[in-house]
Amino acid sequence: MLRSLTLALSLFAAEAHAFGPGVHAYIALRLLHSVPSSGVYGAMAADMNGILRGDPAAASTMQRLTHYEFGLLAPSLFATGWASHNGAWGADRVAHEYLRSGHDPEAYFTRKIRTLSEREGITQFQAEDLFDAALDLTLAQRVGPELGIAVAESAELAGKAEEDALATAFTGPLAERAGLDPADAESRIRWAHRCMKSGLIVYGRILERDRGYQRPIADFLAARHFKWPPAEARAHLDTALELAEDCIPELDALADALAQRMRGEAAYGDYLLGPLTLQR
């Protein structure tokens, strides 16, 4: 339980410099129209490379595989949710757009990150992490407990089929590129899946609760993650939450754009059933 809570709290702090699990789950729910499902879990679990960060070579290789070579996964509902997360043209591409040369400075997420950075006197990397945490908190309130329930129950349902699919797709490339024995590479993949699954269950239960329960956790994690005094962390997060208030239409538009992109691919088109309106 302690390990699961620790992972859940690190997810809540948005340490991966990208959308949090709540955003990825929300997008997958709009795409897949299925609650809970392996597709929703896949959309969140694509960040499992972060579990391996104690071994930089393995973590870096796994990040490339999970975010850019996602097509190695055999077609399935799980793989379709996973693909929605990707860094080539998926949700993570949009999350990181502000880092790319020639990006549109007025694109929604770029503009929000820049505004948060300027208003609070923090770096854009800090602003991205903080804004992503605010997006999850905002979605949890606007959608209601159903979002947290979908996160937790989708992770609870993920089991041997998903674990085996990950091992089959990624063991060979991870072993070859990170200089690992194949058995060691497979073990790391299976371990990362199990840790991600456990952490997401706890994380979903946090998102299920009301703002009065979530906010002290978020304030504490922001202070710890950024090494800010508690009052400063709370003030920065207040601004991030204010800026995230209008996020739903933008996330809906992103989900719709991904659905259009994915319907053109045989590997994913058959699994898309959206769009689904979630917010109250």
The pLDDT of residue 53: 83
Task: Flag whether 274 is in a domain.
Answer: no
For the segment 196-223, the average pLDDT, to the nearest whole number, is: 93
135 or 5, which is more confident: 135
Q: What are the tens digits of pLDDT across the range 2-35?
A: 444 445 555 544 444 568 999 999 999 999 866 6
Task: Flag whether 130 is in a domain.
Answer: yes
What is the residue-averaged pLDDT of the chain?
89
- Please report which confidence band the pLDDT of residue 230 belongs to, taking 50, 70 and 90 as the band edges: very high
For the segment 267-280, the average pLDDT, to the nearest whole number, is: 64
Residue 272 has pLDDT above 80, yes or no: yes
Residue 67 has pLDDT above 50, yes or no: yes
Task: Flag whether 202 is in a domain.
Answer: yes
The pLDDT of residue 106: 85
Q: What are the tens digits of pLDDT across the range 106-134?
A: 889 999 999 999 999 999 989 999 999 99
Give the domain range for residue 26. Answer: 2-269
Task: Flag whether 211 is in a domain.
Answer: yes
- Please report which confidence band the pLDDT of residue 87 belongs to, taking 50, 70 and 90 as the band edges: very high
Task: Flag whether 55 is in a domain.
Answer: yes
Q: What are the tens digits of pLDDT across the range 234-263?
A: 999 999 999 999 999 999 999 999 999 998
User: How many domains would you assign to the chain?
Assistant: 1
Quote the Cα angle for 82-84-86, to 5°: 80
Task: Flag whether 278 is in a domain.
Answer: no
Task: Flag whether 165 is in a domain.
Answer: yes
Task: Flag whether 248 is in a domain.
Answer: yes
